[in-house]
Amino acid sequence: MARKIPMSLVLFGVLALASFAALFWQSRLITVQLGDASILTGYTLFVTILLLGMFNARKKLSMIPLGRARTWLIFHVVLGVFALALFWLHTGGIWPLGLYEQLLAGSFYLVSASGVFGYLLQKALPSRLTHTGIEIIYDRIPAEIAEIRERAETLVIECTKETGSETVAQHYVGTLFWYFQKPRFLFAHLFGGDAAGFWLRGPGSAARRYLNDVEKKLFDEILDLAALKAHVDRHYVCQGVMKKWLFLHIPLAVSVVTLAVWHLILVNVYVL
């Protein structure tokens, strides 16, 4: 079944297209009249960049009812595409000639690329986390892993005491201890692979064939904890990437705003 297109996307898209068409027409008209259309497109682009920065401010003020977060995200994405088209209209091409203009253009393209990357992350990773069937706060993940490891080691000790056999303990020390120490198979979790499950069904559970019924029961409980840890590991890497991506995108955005302000000052002092 096809997914319904959000009404806000249609509305913002139509407004963006209409605005760009109006700016394009007006800039051509100014050029025909031997005027400088870059003043109109430049100031409009600067205001657009400032509006894009409002998205981060909206996230910091999430406790204030300023509209749905999804609507703000759509607004941010549409405005970003509008800014890119407006940038090309303002510069008259994809890559400007002057060194300072190239620095500004490079920063603008980098923040645009990081924005596209972040949008793809926001679309792909949350659904991947939903499939784990658990919810966990990112800051709680190290403590959660430590708790799972402690429960697993308690089961190992219980198995050794109850059966008098050290097979499970030896397997834990030689194989499973590595897995329970910290998040593992990060790239597989990030890209949707099942390397953790494959490892648990292979080397992780290799000792099971040598266990008696009592040992198997306790060992299966350990493997259940290992499977739970795989879900926690997926939250660790996916939530971490979604959080750390902002440490790239926001500084790039700040650099674009800073360069744009300086560019505006230079234009007003030496050109206008």
- 2 inside domain: no
Nearest alpha-carbon partner for 223 in 161, 179, 190: 179
Q: Position 66: which residue type?
A: L
- Residue 237: count other Cβ atoms within 10 Å of its Cβ: 20
Residue 69 has pLDDT above 80, yes or no: no
In angstroms, the CA 239 to CA 224 distance is: 23
Over residues 6-18, the pLDDT tens digits come to 788 889 899 999 9
Residue 22 lies in a domain: yes
Q: 234 is in which domain, residue-wise?
A: 138-241
Answer yes or no: are the C-beta atoms of 138 and 240 closer than 8 Å.
yes
175 and 161 together in one domain: yes
Q: For 238-253, what is each residue's pLDDT tens digit? A: 999 988 888 888 888 8
Q: pLDDT value at position 154?
A: 95
What average pLDDT does this structure show over 32-45?
88
pLDDT beyond 60 at 62:
no
pLDDT, tens digit (0-9, with 9 covering 90-100), for 144-160: 999 999 999 999 999 99
Residues with Cβ within 8 Å of residue 176, at least 6 apart in sequence: 152, 204, 222, 226
Enumerate the H helices of the chain as residue ranges.
Answer: 7-32, 37-60, 69-91, 99-130, 141-163, 167-171, 177-181, 186-190, 195-201, 213-244, 246-270
pLDDT of residue 264: 86
CA dist 186 and 70 (Å) reads 28
Task: Answer yes or no: do 121 and 150 share one domain.
Answer: no
Give the burial class of 3: count Cβ atoms within 10 A of its Cβ; 0-12 exposed, 13-18 middle, 19 or more buried: exposed
Specify whether 254 is located in the same domain as 216. no
* Bigger pLDDT: 53 vs 142: 142
In a domain, 1, yes or no: no
Tokens describing residue 111: 């923040």
User: Is the per-residue pLDDT at 1 higher than 50?
Assistant: no
Q: Are residues 84 and 51 in the same domain?
A: yes
101 and 153 share one domain: no
Q: Are residues 108 and 126 in the same domain?
A: yes
Specify whether 25 is located in the same domain as 128: yes
Residues 122 and 17 in one domain: yes
For the chain, the average pLDDT equals 88
Summarize pLDDT for 99-112 with one digit per residue, the tens.
888 898 999 999 99
Q: Which two tokens stand for residue 204?
A: 């992780």
Q: Are residues 121 and 252 in the same domain?
A: yes
Q: Which residue has the tokens 């744009």?
A: 260
Please indicate, yes or no, if residue 148 is contained in any of the structural domains. yes
Query: Percent of the chain, pLDDT > 70?
Result: 93
Do residues 249 and 205 both lie within one domain?
no
Confidence of residue 271 (pLDDT cuts 50, 70, 90): low
Question: Does the structure show a pLDDT above 80 at 199?
Answer: yes
Name the pLDDT band for 65 (thresholds 50, 70, 90): low
Average pLDDT over residues 77-105: 89
pLDDT over 60 (residue 64)? no
Grade residue 71 by pLDDT with cuts at 50, 70 and 90.
confident
One domain, residues 173 and 257 = no
Q: Does the pLDDT at position 142 exceed 50?
A: yes
Q: What is the mean pLDDT of residues 199-224?
A: 93
Q: How many domains does the chain have?
A: 2
pLDDT above 80: residue 28: yes
42 and 156 part of one domain: no
